[in-house]
Chain A
């Protein structure tokens, strides 16, 4: 059984965004108007219509993380120029469900718990020099 959302999620994870021709293909495949595919692509947070950068950074903005101060990480990213850097895509996320390890930051799909500004800054500067997070700086 095929679901429209599942198919769009596959495309999103394959390309990092939803290219226009793929949306048109989905519209034909599921026999739904392109306008509806577009409305879905813009309604759900998981989809992006623009290509994403080399590194994807998520900061958890769930309750437990915010209470433990995750909001300063966004300031740190801003200060480091990450928010304007094309190599990086920053997306805040509403809870990863790893609340016991709050505050949580996810970099390129890997979850890092009990994050501090210091550790985040070191990880980001590593990313700007290398391409992968090699060492988990404590």
Chain B
């Protein structure tokens, strides 16, 4: 039986189960810094053709080829880096054919990590730019993503070589309460969106006799893939964080709840758990002590609401994902009625750097109330799409315009489908839980969707309301019926059939849904509507007058081809989903009867020959 008495230090009792971290580290260093070619094969890399590159490399070269996670700059995928002859890693971008690939920059494999790790001396390149000076990387500070894209995700020795499992080793000699105190002092807040202090959550669970640990990897926000990248690129960081959490609160069993849409992440985590068990980092007598803990994977099945903690718990228990009334909170009464700590992937991945570098290190990053870093997926109308990690307190403008190199930004949407749209004029706001809330948005889990002039804000609000309506579990009336009614009203406006009184009705309904819903989904679902109304009311009014300034709402726009400008290339016809375009006398014409006003021809035409009116 594990020792559950507080205040007592765990004893090292099983010599046969002790882990030789130094030996693993040596093995990892050998692999990490040997001559090798690494290909980024996360989901996004694979979609960009990384597997074909991998095949080609394997057939042409007898070099040591490694599959790694995501280096972040998804816009340049497939990314491949080469390490040879005692030199630093040289990254190639957009690798389609190996011979023709272009150099992105070079980096030292350890330089992104905040942990102090042992490494050989490598020589840099003078003729190529350094990756840390690239606009995309310059302002980033990696804590959570420290190993992503660097190590082979399932090679535990490389994880250890990058400082992995030192934190677990350290806390096994600490008292559980001291571990909780360390996390409390660091100021870490839940990265799933609500920002509840992690240490406090652990303390409540421990006081109630903590039983279970859950990692919330049900990353349902469209436009967000931070958790997927961490699980695919560095699964041990999450497993180690959970193990430390289990020790701190006294749990024996943990669960990772991953959405089924992430098959690669599921596979990596399952395999990583198996490997950790084999090496004595999970299971009975972890690292030779009397502390035992194990983790199981539970899969989600495509329900957004299961990201809500009580719905997620219901789902693991084998029920439909309906949220339960809080309080009691899971830390008091959670899975199967027992005290449960539930944190998201990013939160867990933060734990070991906090333990290893001390709370002061973490608390020195960020703002007064929001400490540390935050991972964002920067997507939408932005040049450098990708996965970034920045210190809290950085301005949205720096993120979007400097890191993302976006131009003509109209708004940035933060916080997923129930977040808000922040207009360009307010983009100097600091990334901080409280500051974003002041603007009517939320931090959320970290999706940042950039919008430009081609995005219609009313259409965007409609999209998010529809999303929330469909994903509402249906348990409570305000959310179920209120959102349905709101979608009908906004639909009317996008068709040019709305009136000013509809806007008033929408505002009233939004207030009811936000205040009377049971869980976070309903409470925040009106955010996209309220923020777009607050910052882009003009656009709503224009729709009511029958105009869609961005030219998105189909009922309000028409397209025609200007004969003089048409070169007859036929690209519009090829890209017309409705077969509404045909060639007449060497130029193309749109059949207004068949045209669905989707704007496909407008966006593909290279000669500005398609006119919107």
Q: Could you tell me which A residues sit within 8 Å of B by CB distance?
A: 1, 3-6, 8-9, 30, 32, 36, 39-40, 43-47, 61-69, 71-73, 75-76, 78-79, 93-102, 104, 111-113, 116-118, 121
A67 touches B600 (CB 8 A): no
B600: contacting residue among A9, A47, A69, A96, CB under 8 A = A69
- Known: A95-B221, A97-B262; 20 extra A-B contacts, CB below 8 A, are A3-B299, A6-B299, A8-B301, A9-B299, A40-B319, A44-B303, A62-B223, A64-B379, A69-B598, A69-B599, A78-B577, A95-B225, A98-B225, A99-B223, A99-B447, A100-B77, A100-B386, A101-B74, A116-B575, A117-B600
CB atoms of A95 and B220 under 8 A apart: yes
Within 569-593 of B, Cβ neighbours of A (below 8 Å) are at 571, 574-579
A46 to B74 Cα, complex, angstroms = 27
Cα of A117 to Cα of B386 in the assembled complex, Å? 24
Q: Report whether B603 and A69 are in contact in the complex, using a CB–CB cutoff of 8 Å.
A: yes
Instruction: Assess the A45–B301 pair: CB atoms within 8 A.
Output: yes
The contact size tier of chain B is 35 or more
How many Å lie between the Cα of A66 and that of B578 in the bound state?
18
Contact B318 A113 (CB under 8 A): no
Between-chain CB contacts (< 8 Å), 27 pairs = A3-B318, A6-B297, A6-B299, A9-B260, A9-B301, A43-B303, A43-B321, A44-B303, A46-B260, A63-B223, A64-B222, A64-B223, A75-B598, A79-B579, A94-B222, A94-B302, A94-B304, A94-B471, A95-B224, A96-B261, A97-B228, A98-B225, A99-B225, A100-B44, A101-B48, A102-B379, A117-B574
Is B12 in contact with chain A by the CB < 8 A criterion?
no
Residue of A nearest to B570 (CB): A118
CB distance from B168 to the nearest CB of A (A): 23
| Contact A100-B299, Cβ < 8 Å, known A63-B413, A94-B467 | no
Determine if A72 and B598 form an interchain contact, defined as CB atoms under 8 angstroms apart. Answer: yes
Q: How far is the CA of A75 from the CA of B74 in the complex (A)?
A: 28
User: In B53-78, which residues have CB < 8 Å from any A CB?
Assistant: 74-75, 77
Number of residue pairs A-B, CB distance < 8 angstroms: 168
State the 10 A-B residue pairs at the shortest beta-carbon distance, nearest first.
A100-B74, A62-B222, A45-B302, A76-B577, A97-B225, A44-B301, A4-B318, A95-B222, A63-B223, A100-B385
A40 CB to closest chain B CB (Å) equals 6
**Interchain CA distance A94-B577 in the complex, whole Å:** 21
Q: CA–CA, A73 to B221, complex, Å? A: 21
Contacts of B220-234 to chain A: CB distance below 8 A? 220-225, 228
CB of B46 closer than 8 Å to a CB of A: yes
Interchain CA distance A98-B261 in the complex, whole Å: 11
Q: Which residues of A contact B600 (CB under 8 A)?
A: 69, 72, 117
Q: Compute how far the CA of A75 lies from the CA of B578 in the bound complex, rounded to whole angstroms.
A: 7
Instruction: Say if the beta carbon of B109 comes within 8 Å of chain A.
Output: no
Is B296 interfacial (CB-CB < 8 Å)?
Answer: yes
Cβ of B320 under 8 Å from chain A: yes
Q: Does B449 contact A (CB under 8 A)?
A: yes
Q: Name the residue of chain B whose CB is nearest to the CB of A39.
A: B320
B417 touches which one: A1, A30, A63, A99 (CB < 8 A)?
Answer: A63
Closest Cβ neighbor of A10 among chain B residues: B299
Interface positions of B from 233 to 270, Cβ below 8 Å from A: 260-262
B126 CB, nearest partner CB in chain A, Å: 31
Structural contact, A5 and B379, CB atoms closer than 8 A: no
Q: Which residues of A contact B224 (CB under 8 A)?
A: 95, 97, 99
Cβ A73 vs Cβ B577 within 8 A = yes
- CB-CB under 8 A for A40 and B318, given A8-B301, A63-B413: yes
The answer to whether B13 has its CB under 8 Å from any CB of chain A is: no
* Residue in B299, B301, B455 whose CB lies within 8 Å of A47: B301
Q: Which residues of B contact A112 (CB under 8 A)?
A: 47
Within the complex, which residue of A46, A61, A93 is in contact with B301, where a contact is CB–CB below 8 Å? Answer: A46
B380→A63 contact, CB < 8 A: yes
B219 touches A (CB below 8 Å): yes
In angstroms, Cα B498 to Cα A119, docked, is 37
Chain B residue numbers with a CB within 8 Å of A4 are: 318
State the Cβ distance, B216 to closest chain A Cβ, in Å. 15
Residues of A within 8 A of B460 (CB): 67
**Is B200 interfacial (CB-CB < 8 Å)?**
no
A102, closest chain B residue (CB):
B379
B481 close to chain A: CB less than 8 A: no
CA distance A130 to B420 in the complex (A): 45
Q: B95 to nearest A CB, angstroms?
A: 15
B536 within 8 A of A: no
Q: Does chain A have a CB within 8 A of B190?
A: no
Q: How far is the CA of A72 from the CA of B321 in the complex (A)?
A: 32
Assess whether B380 is in contact with A64, with CB atoms less than 8 Å apart.
Answer: yes
> How many angstroms between the C-alpha atoms of A44 and B301 in the bound complex?
6
Q: B377 on the interface (CB 8 Å rule)?
A: yes
Residue B451 is within 8 A (CB to CB) of chain A in the complex: yes
Q: Which residues of A sit under 8 angstroms from B413, Cβ to Cβ?
A: 63
What separation, in Å, do the CA atoms of A32 and B317 have in the docked complex? 12
Q: Are B577 and A5 in contact (CB under 8 A)?
A: no
Most chain B beta carbons < 10 A, residue from A3, A78, A79: A3
